[in-house]
Amino acid sequence: MKNPLDSLWGTIIAGVILTAILYAVVKNVLN
């Protein structure tokens, strides 16, 4: 499997997915 960080789009998509995951954790677990 290719490293998503090797492409700019892969990096941006990974960042958006990470945002959604962290948001869900903050909203449902930490807040």
Partner 1 sequence: MDLVPIFARWLHFLAGVMWIGLLYYFNFVQVPALKAAAADNTAAGITKHVAPRALFYFRWASLVTWLAGAALLGGQFVNAFTLSKGMAGIGVGAWLGTIMLFNVWGLIWPNQQKILGMKPATDEEKNKARRIAFLASRTNVMLSIPMLFFMAGGWSHRGTFGL
Binding site for partner 1 (CB under 8 A): 3, 5-6, 8, 11-12, 14-16, 18-19, 22-23, 26-27, 30-31
Is 1 in contact with 7 (CB distance < 8 Å)? no
Is 26 in contact with 20 (CB distance < 8 Å)? no
CA atoms within 13 A on the CB side of 6: 3
User: Measured from the CB atom, is 1 or 3 closer to partner 1?
Assistant: 3
User: Measured from the CB atom, is 1 or 8 closer to partner 1?
Assistant: 8
Q: How far is the CB of 8 from partner 1 (least distance, A)?
A: 7
